[in-house]
Structure 1
């Protein structure tokens, strides 16, 4: 069976976005629009991935490398239409023999199952179409007994053609050799003076090649051209992700308040409380619980762990089984082994905490010296007293303890108690005398101000 190649068109500036950011890099579900197309296309296990960039090509290339490291980025210096854009990808497909699927970087909702149907269709040229509730200015798919006859853009359509409800998504699949042969024959003899990729259907039929339509739901073809459309797309994306989570056995106590990222992964029987926000790169295993008002990104939460309420997990946070992270705790680039408890009001950054260690309230790993970050190592079964400042780099041994209010700047051996604070001194009667003096001073100042 022949393989597949993916071309993603991502050259447009998106002037209606009123933004310096390339349109395909605007975020949807905490990921650029481009990432959605690349993720859907990954279901085909493509042998080649080519991203056609134009405006902000360097930025687009960096984003493509994150979501599809194997992708090759080619430049469309002038935006002369979709057919012209695909021609820029042809050199990257040299010696490729297989099916080519052309996607759009600003169309984020096409499902992998739809792309698989497109790739498996047997015609020489296959177009993805949809029945539009309001066809508007979409291109129309003109079909006949032999299948798809041609695609006509709205600007060039007759009244009879505009009455057709079967519309063009722009997504096309064709054999690489067929595509390479037909693309140079495209012309810009149309109202927009652009080279339309869709014209290859008429060229193919003129050669006696077959063309057909694979259909999908209209919602899959939604393109993003304005900020308002982006906001509506975000609402649709979140609704879909919430529904999928519920179907997969995740408890969402207030689904409408939970916000997912494109790559959020949550196991069955996990519980997600109200007002939880997922940034990129979060994995939550089965049976874990995230309580209300937490913000998570780039982290991994194991089975039986509990997080929150009001906790923040940043990239590199790794929570083993049965870890508890409580309210107003922030974890960054830190590994917490099984059974660790971090109850409240704590920052752990660039650290490793051994199993079943207890971190007291107000503990801070002082990991940054103004230039570099430093590591804190805390052993298993240790007890860190409340309001301990751990000045990294520093190690606290297994079963060791720190006294509350300590500043720990030297390593603490296993089994030791470390106290790093000034000795308390009591001055009998001084509190009353000091308050009397302050009150008298206040009265004096009030009299002087009159």
Structure 2
């Protein structure tokens, strides 16, 4: 089945009150992207007709998703008059004959995990899994390999609550089933909601074929609380890191490493324990040492850390970044910065050595300014460069120097120190009082 033969509807209208957050549930992040992002990304591998049903914080949901995707349809649920999953389907008009209905709070779904819905032939296909503790899930009653009905927990009898087969919340319908049964849904239940699950019982009464599909809980795990969010993050992180290790990245103690979905590795890379790598970071043929943080940066043929911090828009190539070095919005090529330095809004050229305690003073309280450092510059320990400033090639900055002029010319030594004085017996005089 190609992308033009299946439509996908993603239900993302709920408030997610159990998240105990002012943020819409589907906008909570998993590995650096909103939950809904991950579901749409997987859906795009299967379909060209994707509709997201929204209501709560609908403007925020649309705005964030449009940062990532084009050609996504949005449908607003009339949640006041038609609450519930069935109500969410009221105004949706899928284009294709097979319609896959997903939930916006299942960020671990992949295209491969959904393949069973595409391959199975039935009027309705519904996902199930068996749980030791099914609390909170709708129970699925199955007889002779066919779904007989679904009972929501709040409407279930004591006997039905003993059933361990639960509704995983994903369905595939033929378009004709949606067109026939969604208009017939009623809210005659304990919660006065329109349940999509009621389609199952109506279709069963009419003799339609309803096939259960056993799925992996790790791929269809719903997020209803911040504990669920944390559990899903662990699973997502394991998938991301496993994929990169299978692609050749060496990771030491991978359970201690956090890598976002948007990070990319190339060539022979090592990531040591305790690292955090986020945003649109690219790492090529480099060693990221223990405890380092890299955000939205590019690192090529370099080593970073331990305990270094590359803030957004840093470009590091053929460079050694040592422990407790922070770089922000700077380009360093062929540079050594061994320890305890801050390099911000700077351009540093090859052959330059940045001593311990060197900082670029790039902010005057109102504006930020750039520091340009040329080739083969030696920056002595505890020196400060007050931007805007240019250090030309082959310059030495003496330890403890503060450079405030606009330019240090090629081949120069810059030194600014007060004369060292000794006051005899000052220690004893000071503490004698």
Q: Secondary structure of 1:220's partner?
A: coil
Q: Is the 8 A contact 2:127 2:169 kept in 1?
A: yes
Q: Is the 8 A contact 1:257 1:274 kept in 2?
A: yes
Aligned residue in 2 for 1:422: 416
Of 314, 319, 322 in structure 2, the residue corresponding to residue 317 of structure 1 is: 314
Aligned residue in 2 for 1:359: 354
Q: Secondary structure of 1:362's partner?
A: coil
Q: Is the 8 A contact 1:97 1:177 kept in 2?
A: no
1:440 aligns with 2:429: yes
Q: Is the 8 A contact 1:248 1:268 kept in 2?
A: no
**How far apart, CA to CA, are the structure 2 residues paired with 1:86 and 1:332?**
47
State the Cα distance separating 1:410 from its structure 2 match: 1.0
Q: Is the 8 A contact 2:314 2:327 kept in 1?
A: yes
**How far apart, CA to CA, are the structure 2 residues paired with 1:163 and 1:257?**
39
1:328 aligns with 2:324: yes
Aligned residue in 1 for 2:273: 274
Q: Is the 8 A contact 2:99 2:173 kept in 1?
A: yes
Q: Is the 8 A contact 1:51 1:64 kept in 2?
A: no
TM-score by length of 2: 0.84
> CA distance change for structure 1 residues 317 and 102 in 2, over 3 Å: closer, same or farther?
farther
- CA deviations on 1:389-442 (whole Å, 9 max, x unpaired) are 3333333334444444231441345x43252x435535xxx5133x43x64354
1:60 aligns with 2:61: yes
Q: Is the 8 A contact 1:99 1:173 kept in 2?
A: yes
Aligned residue in 2 for 1:284: 283
> CA distance change for structure 1 residues 387 and 153 in 2, over 3 Å: closer, same or farther?
same
Of 296, 305, 312 in structure 2, the residue corresponding to residue 308 of structure 1 is: 305
> CA distance change for structure 1 residues 188 and 387 in 2, over 3 Å: closer, same or farther?
same
**How far apart, CA to CA, are the structure 2 residues paired with 1:382 and 1:441?**
42
Aligned residue in 1 for 2:107: 108
Q: Secondary structure of 2:166's partner?
A: strand
- CA deviations on 1:215-273 (whole Å, 9 max, x unpaired) are 31122222222233333333444444444444443322223322233333345642222
State the Cα distance separating 1:56 from its structure 2 match: 3.0
5+ residue gaps in structure 2? none
Aligned residue in 2 for 1:9: 11
State the Cα distance separating 1:81 from its structure 2 match: 0.4
CA RMSD of aligned residues (A): 3.2
5+ residue gaps in structure 1? none
Q: Is the 8 A contact 2:353 2:379 kept in 1?
A: yes
Aligned residue in 2 for 1:36: 38
Aligned residue in 1 for 2:195: 196
**How far apart, CA to CA, are the structure 1 residues paired with 2:188 and 2:332?**
64
Task: State how many pairs are aligned.
Answer: 428
State the Cα distance separating 1:205 from its structure 2 match: 5.4
Aligned residue in 1 for 2:370: 375
Aligned residue in 2 for 1:347: 342
State the Cα distance separating 1:181 from its structure 2 match: 4.8
Q: Is the 8 A contact 1:403 1:417 kept in 2?
A: no
5 Å matches for 1:44-55? 44=46, 46-55=47-56
- CA deviations on 1:273-328 (whole Å, 9 max, x unpaired) are 2221233333323x4211111122212222x32110110111212222x3211111
State the Cα distance separating 1:159 from its structure 2 match: 6.6
